[in-house]
Chains A and B, each alone.
Chain A
Amino acid sequence: MRKLLVAILFGLVATASAQPAQPARPAAPARPVRAKPGKVDVAKATAALRGADVAAAAKAAAELGGSPDPAHHEPLLDALATGVHPDVLVAGLTALTGTATKTDLQAIGAYVRYRNGAVRAAALRAFSKSIGDPTLVIESLSVFDAPVRAAAAEAAGRMKLTAAVPALLVLLDKGEAPAALALGAMADEALARTVAEHLGVAPDATLAVALGAMLTRLEFGPETIRVDLVRTLSKLSGVEALDALEGYVEIAPENPPRQSRREAEAVLKARQGDR
């Protein structure tokens, strides 16, 4: 029966019209649960996963998914393939984010369009951390679930996905902090200027997050753009701009002296009363 169900769900993955690119996965076999010695009691966890106690199943999913041993993932993948409670899914998918192997990705991929936003975000994080799928990430930036967009933005920033920049700029204008952080993480000088041009369009707080994220990257430069961003930040209202300037002052070396740092300090001094 389990074999049949696995095939059914993997069939869904294979036939759904808009599924992400998948790594090659062999035809789904029945997954024997093999208990291995170590910290994870696989047999116990497997039993919990098959039970009706959601909390226990979630705990077991986290244990199995978090195990660096791919063999421990097998019962979890079976659970994913046969449908479990969203709490169990979130726990398992989140655990797999740092440990997923290529063979785990097919099961994870079946959840990147799950209807529950938390599950979907967890699947997207696990999936995009293991295998960067630009199409999936960009598509996920436009969904209506905020947690999913946040996960996608995070992935876009981590992957320095320039194709995602137009979408991220729209989200910046809509005041989405994850998009601001993503832009901050991937911006070069040209993108930094583009982002700075959203002064007056994007909310000040969100723009400050984006510019602050750029300035706190040690390799970000040259100095001319740092100075420009500090000056842009000086025009923004709200504590977020001050946080960004403070963050920059903290990481910027005192020597050799930087004009951008001096100007940031001057702004902070002048706006002490703003906090």
Chain B
Amino acid sequence: MSLARVFAPVALAAVLAAGCGPKTVYGLSSDDNNAERLGAALAKRAVAKADAPLNALGKPLVFAAVGGAKKQLVAFDAGAGSALWTVDADVQSRVAVAGELVVAKEAGGVVVRKLADGSVRAKLALAGELVGVTTDGERVYVVVQAGTGPKPVWSLIAYSGDGSQLWQNDSPGALGAPVAQGGLVLSPFLKQWLAVLDARTGAQLTRVRGLDEEISELRVTATAAFFGSKAGVFRLDDKAATGSRAGATYGTVTLPKELATADYGHDAFDPVQAGYSAFDRRRILWRADPTADGPFRWSGELIAVHFFRFVFGLTPAGEFRWAYSHPRVELVASEHAGPVIVAVAGDGTLVALDAATGAVRASAKLEVGGPVLGATIDCDGWAPSDAGEAPSTVTALATIARDRDARFEAIKQYAVATMAKLEGADVTRDLVALVVDPRTPIKLHDTVADLLVARKDPTGLPALIDALAVRPDFLTNTQPVGLIEVGRAIGALGGVSLPEAEQARAMAALELQAFDPATAAPARLELVRALIAIGHGRERARLKAELVQYRADPGFAAEADLVVAMTAAVAAGGPEDREVVRWIAADARSHPAVAAAAQAALQPASQP
């Protein structure tokens, strides 16, 4: 029997049982932004006192849609680390969860399942394209768009948990996916209004009109409701009736440009986002603390940004705090649950990251037979007992920077720029590792090289010296990499006070590479410049010997910048040094270019 033949009688029976036809409550004119009516509506709303999962079990649950040959819906108890149930289901929308109900579009229509075991409680036929579905645990609310052509109609239809239609509101304009909470249904209309409806009857109680920005994103938790757009978030409280950012409890965060494409929530009007999609992998994860009368307050003064495989902890001003890099596979779903950020990867791995530190406080694996396409995370308030170990931020950022996925170039740029702001030898070591890795993309390589120079971090000198330790070896086909960049970075330390022993080590390493026959001319130039920069005159004896030995060599003379740098450095020394330079300038055997450089170095203007 086809699903259509199953659903059709149910739908018909539902319409008949409703006992009343659809009514139109949406219109361009209404008593918008009425503070009194909004206050009254919110006063009716039943909300929890503390963050908690919306499901009736009160457990932190994850509902994962699994693709592949055998499509399934898995309910996973994150607290217990085990599956609650697994059912065969071709999930085609987000899964909505509240109370005893688990609701999603599956092949053919909307299916209402029992929380306890995943069994089917009701099936609802769809009279159009699904825009969104939600539940408050008592009823199921479905928005569909019917009719194509000049006069499409959007309908918000309420059903009982058993599939009986309770009411239907039609709209000539676009309705977005609704959310429901404590006796209210919040229904966005034409991206401009948020209709607040009585969940029992569908009657409009009041309506908020966005004056400063559109209303396209909604979110409810056990304790609060929010609406907003890509630009920011409004708390649905009495002040929301102002409809303005200034008058309402409104929050927005400043993201680094590399993460700026992340959204606060799902676009309720985008049919693609009615289901799980790539948008779920690029999100701002946030919670807001209740405020009596004050401004919007982000919980813990921190937010997080989920960006495919990575999660970054940031301040609302966009300042970096921590990073998490998930190994190998992408995180397909994520949610800020309060104490932790819960995320599910495509291979079924579940992680709970401490919202303040990024420490992994819990991890588990959903046993799935195929890729996880997306998940609904109902874990609000979940605080795993393990505090976790705060991860090495540098390591996490370095891991991100070294990622081989070409899609993440901007994120890698962000990671290295963030790394470079951190102090410590490890940072320099990781940056050097990126510079000397031939697989590092050119643009990223150049960025890292510039950052290394700009750091001027003396604690990183040992890492730079170590980078010079690789010797050219024809037998093993080994060649030192990144000599130019490392030379520039060491040279940048010229004005920094270095411990004498470190300075001596650095000079020895620089000399070894600079004057190795296998070193290419551009690298030799930077290495010698570094030698001069940190040597403070100690390099002169070696430079003088090199000048004497190579002064007649056309190969050396061709390295014009090197010749100039060396002659100038030696000429800046004492009378004996200048005497050597003078002799090089005058001796017939000196290459003319070298002699000219020596002559120029002796001029007063060239003296440092």
Residue positions of A touching B, CB distance < 8 A: 1, 4-5, 8-9, 11-12, 15-18, 50-52, 57, 82-86, 88, 110, 113-117, 120, 141-145, 149, 167, 170-171
With A1-B583, A142-B473 in contact, is A12–B549 under 8 Å at CB?
yes
Q: Which residue of B lies closest to A5 (CB)?
A: B548
Bound-complex Cα distance A142 to B518 (A): 11
Q: How far is the CB of A60 from chain B (nearest CB, A)?
A: 12
B576 with A4: CB separation less than 8 A: yes
Asked if B170 is at the interface (CB within 8 A of a chain A CB), the reply is: no
Q: Separation in Å of the A108 CB from the closest CB of chain B?
A: 13
Closest to B549 in A: A83
> Residue on A with the closest CB to B592?
A52
Let me know if B512 and A17 touch, CB within 8 A: yes
Interface string of B119-157 (1 = CB under 8 A from A): 000000000000000000000000000000000000000
Contact for A115 among B511, B512, B555, B579, CB less than 8 A: B555
Minimum CB–CB distance for A133 against chain B, Å? 17
Contact yes or no, B508 A17, CB < 8 A: yes
**A51 proximity list for chain B (CB < 8 A):** 588-589
- Interface core residue of A5, A88, A113, A116 (most chain B CB under 10 Å): A5
B583 & A83 in contact (Cβ 8 Å cutoff): no
Does chain A have a CB within 8 A of B292?
Answer: no
Among B473, B474, B476, B553, the residue within 8 A (CB) of A85 is: B553
Cα distance A57–B590 when bound, in Å? 13
B319 CB within 8 Å of chain A: no
Nearest Cβ in chain B — how far from A144, in angstroms? 5
CB-CB under 8 A from B512, the residues of chain A are 17-18
Binary contact track B500-532/A, C-beta < 8 Å → 1, others 0: 000000001001100111100000000000000
Q: How far is the CA of A115 from the CA of B479 in the complex (A)?
A: 16
Question: CB distance A5 to B475 under 8 Å?
Answer: no
CB distance from A52 to the nearest CB of B (A): 4
A-B pairs, 8 with minimum CB distance: A12-B545, A52-B588, A115-B517, A142-B475, A170-B475, A85-B552, A142-B473, A83-B549
- Taking A4-B579, A82-B548 as known contacts, 8 extra A-B pairs with beta carbons closer than 8 A to each other, sorted by chain A number, are A52-B589, A86-B552, A86-B553, A110-B549, A115-B517, A141-B475, A143-B472, A145-B517
Q: B56-79 interface mask toward A, CB cutoff 8 Å, 1 = contact, 0 = none?
A: 000000000000000000000000
A86 in contact with B555 given A17-B511, A52-B589 (CB within 8 Å):
yes
Question: 16 A-B residue contacts at CB 8 Å?
Answer: A1-B579, A4-B576, A5-B548, A8-B544, A11-B541, A12-B549, A17-B511, A83-B551, A85-B552, A85-B589, A113-B516, A114-B517, A114-B549, A143-B472, A143-B517, A144-B474
CA A149 to CA B550, docked complex, whole Å? 22
A115 to B553, CA, bound (A): 10
Q: Is B88 an interface residue (CB 8 A)?
A: no
With a cutoff of 8 Å between Cβ atoms, the chain B residues found around residue A83 in the complex are 548-553, 589
- Whether a CB of chain A sits under 8 angstroms from the CB of B556 is yes
Partner of B517, one of A9, A50, A113: A113
B545/A142 in contact, CB under 8 A = no
The CA-CA distance from A24 to B516 in the complex, in Å, is 25
A102 to chain B, nearest CB (A): 22
B389 at interface (Cβ–Cβ under 8 A)?
A: no
Distance in angstroms between the alpha carbons of A117 and B553 in the assembled complex: 12
Distance (whole angstroms) from the CB of B552 to the closest CB of chain A: 5
Q: With the chains together, A124 CA to B473 CA distance in Å?
A: 18
Question: Nearest-CB distance from B521 to chain A (Å)?
Answer: 10
Q: For chain B residues 548-582, which have a beta carbon within 8 Å of chain A? A: 548-556, 576, 579-580
Using CB atoms, name the residue of chain A closest to B544.
A8
Q: Which residue of chain A lies nearest to B511 when distances are taken between CB atoms in the complex? A: A17
| Given contact pairs A12-B546, A86-B555, A116-B553, A143 touches B474 in the complex (Cβ within 8 A) | yes
Picked from A110, A115, A144, A145, the residue with its CB within 8 Å of the CB of B556 is A115
Distance in angstroms between the alpha carbons of A14 and B138 in the assembled complex: 90
Closest residue of chain A to B547 (Cβ to Cβ) is: A83
* In the complex, residue of chain A having the shortest beta-carbon distance to the beta carbon of B509: A17
The listed residue with most A CB atoms (<10 A of its CB), out of B473, B515, B548, B587, is B548
Check if B404 is an interface residue, CB within 8 A of chain A. no
Give the complex CA separation of A85 and B508 in angstroms.
27
Contact between B549 and A9, CB atoms less than 8 A apart: yes
B421 on the A face (CB < 8 A)? no
Q: Is B23 an interface residue (CB 8 A)?
A: no
Closest residue of chain A to B576, judged by CB? A4
Q: With both chains docked as a complex, state the minimum distance between the C-beta of B413 and any C-beta of chain A, in angstroms.
A: 34
- Nearest chain A residue, comparing its CB with the CB of B472: A144
Q: B428: shortest Cβ distance to chain A, in Å?
A: 24
